[in-house]
Amino acid sequence: MNVLVTGGAGYIGTELVELLARDPAVDRIVIFDNLSRSNFNLFLGGKIEEHKKIHFQRGELLDSRGLKKALQGIDVVYHLAARVTTPFANSDAHLYEQVNHWGTAELVYAAEESKVKRFIYTSSGGVYGSSDDEIDESCKPHPTTFYAISKLRGEEHVRRLTDRMDTFIFRCGNVYGYSRSMRFDAVINKFVFEANFEKRITIHGDGNQARAFIHINQVAQALAATLHTNLPGGTYNLVSRNLKVIDIVDELKQLIPDLEFIMINQHIRYSQLSIKVNRLVNQALDISNVEALNAELRVFLDKFSF
């Protein structure tokens, strides 16, 4: 089985590629990435197990010729490449539209002309917008940021493939946790960095806004398991827990007793989004066992060099 991973050198992609390399059913892995974040960590730090399976092709999603070349002989596509930010941010409208919307469209066009059998797309829970009630897959998307709008438009292109191949769309919660290719703009990762090095966390609002989360190891495991799953193609939420921002701070204070926090615009009620954990999906993708947040944060803190 030959696999293409767009964005394979990124935060999630780095973890996924290592899992795929250990899968005996996978013969070849092509990483398609433009390295726009200047993150080269996937390529450093020791040999990946079964590294001879892995091949790198530097390219852009809007390069239709490059995409067609990358898709030659490919059986499964993981589309992770995106202009990313936290789901509630709102900037760089043109860049989100170009990469997440039209870049996905170009990949879908190329996939339609290929022999790909399975297409897996990582979307975002941000497509639901905000809600005071816990939501699930039956809820109608209502994106309110440029990022979320572009991801939903990407979904619309991907759904064109459903009559041609097995197609999966995963709306992920806020991804957190240690990866060799780190992101520190997501809320938990940002808090862990600040807690470790500054002993002070900055909270916007009163901290009672809730978010849906999933650990990066669980995302990678779920995506890797999609190669072999009996789960029918479709659109699924990929979430392991919902947390209030202040809950994250409380857990960190248990690990770092002298941790301080300050609140900015405490009088403002920030939007929130809780997503119901789809236990049937999580079980089908081998991520039903969720580790305690305190233990996950302890492991994360231990990854820092000082």
Q: What's the pLDDT score for residue 271?
A: 86
Is 3.30.428.10 the CATH classification of the domain at 2-175+214-239?
no
Q: What's the pLDDT score for residue 88?
A: 44
Compute the 3-state secondary structure of the chain and give helix, strand, coil in percent, each to the nearest 5: 35, 20, 40
pLDDT tens digits for range 206-218: 999 999 999 999 9
Cβ contact 273:87 at 8 Å: yes
Task: Report d(CA 265, CA 273) in Å as an integer.
Answer: 19
By C-alpha distance, which of 171, 300, 287 is closest to 248?
A: 300
Average pLDDT for the chain: 94
pLDDT tens digits for range 175-189: 999 999 999 999 999
For the chain, which residues score pLDDT lower than 50?
87-88
Q: What's the pLDDT score for residue 15?
A: 96
Cβ contact 119:165 at 8 Å: yes
The two structure tokens encoding residue 252: 């960190």
The helices-and-strands tally (H runs, E runs) of the chain is 10, 12
Percent of the chain with pLDDT over 90: 84
For the beta carbon of residue 303, count every other beta carbon within 10 angstroms: 13
Residues 6+ apart with CB under 8 A from 116: 71, 74, 75, 76, 77, 165
Q: What's the pLDDT score for residue 82?
A: 92
